[in-house]
Structure 1
């Protein structure tokens, strides 16, 4: 469970850095106002607020998230969120119900695009 909680905290820091250092990411969150939650089935996790161009997270749960990712347990959440082949791992978790998503799917898709700002982009190769 500790690895899962640490990963969620790191997700906050990585997203905050992306907003701060990437003008496209900053523009992407600028006018968004959403609260979402990532948790385990027993309620352990964090909720995230995107408001006024900033992202903040808190331990625990919020009363009315726009959407919630609920993982079967902390180890499953850690495995899915830290997977190298994240898309297939994510889809498999959904199919096997190791991950259940509830709430506004438009905001879920917005979040998926936000997370894309964390993906390393290959540097152009120089040819000589």
Structure 2
């Protein structure tokens, strides 16, 4: 559980830094207002990311409202999916195995996955 909390916190740090420093990412964030939530099913681990004013802010806990949420069966599943070498494949497999549930606007999920390249370390 601690590892997933730490990973989500680091993701927030990387997203925030990239949204301040990367011009291409800021252009993708232009006119975007969105709240994204990652959590475990029991919500013992939860973090949300607020996208507005060409920035990404990270907050711990459950958001009052979100545009989409990604719920992992448990912390181990979340850690495995988010750290997989092929995260998109792991994401799809987890959905098929009902280890991961996405609620909300799926088009926004796809958009969010598309901008991940701007903050994921090489």
Q: TM-score range by the shorter chain?
A: over 0.9
**What CA RMSD, in Å, does the superposition of the two structures yield over aligned residues?**
1.3
State the Cα distance separating 1:104 from its structure 2 match.
0.7
Report the Cα distance in structure 2 between the residues aligned to 1:16 and 1:63, rounded to whole angstroms: 21
Give the TM-score normalised by structure 2.
0.92
**TM superposition shift of 1:20:** 2.1
Q: Does the 8 A contact of 2:16 with 2:58 survive in 1?
A: no
Q: Which residue of 2 aligns with 1:23?
A: 23
Check 1:77–1:26 CA distance in 2 against 1; reply closer, same or farther (3 A cut): same
TM-score, length basis structure 1: 0.88
- The runs of 5 or more residues in structure 2 that have no matched partner are none
Q: Which blocks of at least 5 consecutive residues in structure 1 are unaligned? A: 122-128
Q: Kindly tell me: are residues 78 and 112 of structure 1, through their superposed partners in 2, closer, same or farther at Cα, counting changes over 3 Å?
A: same
1:42 aligns with 2:42: yes
2:71 maps to: 70
Find out whether 1:93 has 2:94 as its counterpart.
yes
SS in 2 for 1:114: helix
How many angstroms does 1:101 deviate by?
A: 0.3
Q: When the two structures are aligned, how many residues end up with a matched partner?
A: 121
The residue aligned with 2:107 is: 106
How far apart, in 2, do the equivalents of 1:37 and 1:100 lie? 12
Q: Deviations over 1:66-113 (max 9, x none)?
A: 000000001110110011121211111111011100001121111111
Flag the 1:120–1:2 CA change in 2: closer, same or farther, 3 A: closer
Match of 2:5 in 1: 5
